[in-house]
Amino acid sequence: MDRTAIVAQLQISLSEVLNREVAALREDQRLFEDLALDSTSVIELLMSLEDTVGLEVDPDDLEPEVFQTVGTLVDYVAASFAKTAAA
């Protein structure tokens, strides 16, 4: 799954979690400040990504930096896929 596809899936999952239509995402958008996620909805977002794209979340890898921006979250998802593929 390339970066563009991850961003597109993120948009779908965010719309579902926030229960509103989320416009096209930019990688510099901040999850909490710009997109109004909170600590609960961030977790729901991860669960949604597990369900839709087969992301496997390892809770011990989840540093707060992951949730800074759309771009950092995409980095995390891409790295998780790479880790799974290498295993």
Partner 1 sequence: MSAGLSKVAVRLPGRVESVDDILARQGCGPRERRVFTTLHGLRHSPTLAAGERTEDLLVQAGRAALGGRSAALVLYGHTLQLADPEMCGAFRDRLRDRLGLPGSGFYGVSHINCTSVLRSLELARRYLARPGAGPDERVLVLGGDQGSHHDRSRVIPGLTVAGDAVVAVLVQGPGGTDRPRYRYLGGAVARDARFHRNLRMTRQESAAFAETAGAATVETVRRAAHAAGVDLDQIDWVMPHLANRTLWRGFSRLSGFAWNRICLDLIPERGHNFGTDALMALEHADRTRRVRPGDRCALVSVGQGAYFQTVIVEVVDDE
Contacts with partner 1 by CB under 8 A lie at 38-41, 43-44, 46-48, 50-51, 57, 59-60, 62-64
Of 2 and 60, the one with the shorter C-beta distance to partner 1 is 60
Of 3 and 20, the one with the shorter C-beta distance to partner 1 is 20
**3-class DSSP string for the chain:** CCHHHHHHHHHHHHHHHHCCCCCCCCCCCECCCCCCCCHHHHHHHHHHHHHHHCCCCCHHHCCHHHHCEHHHHHHHHHHHHHHHHHC
Of 62 and 78, the one with the shorter C-beta distance to partner 1 is 62
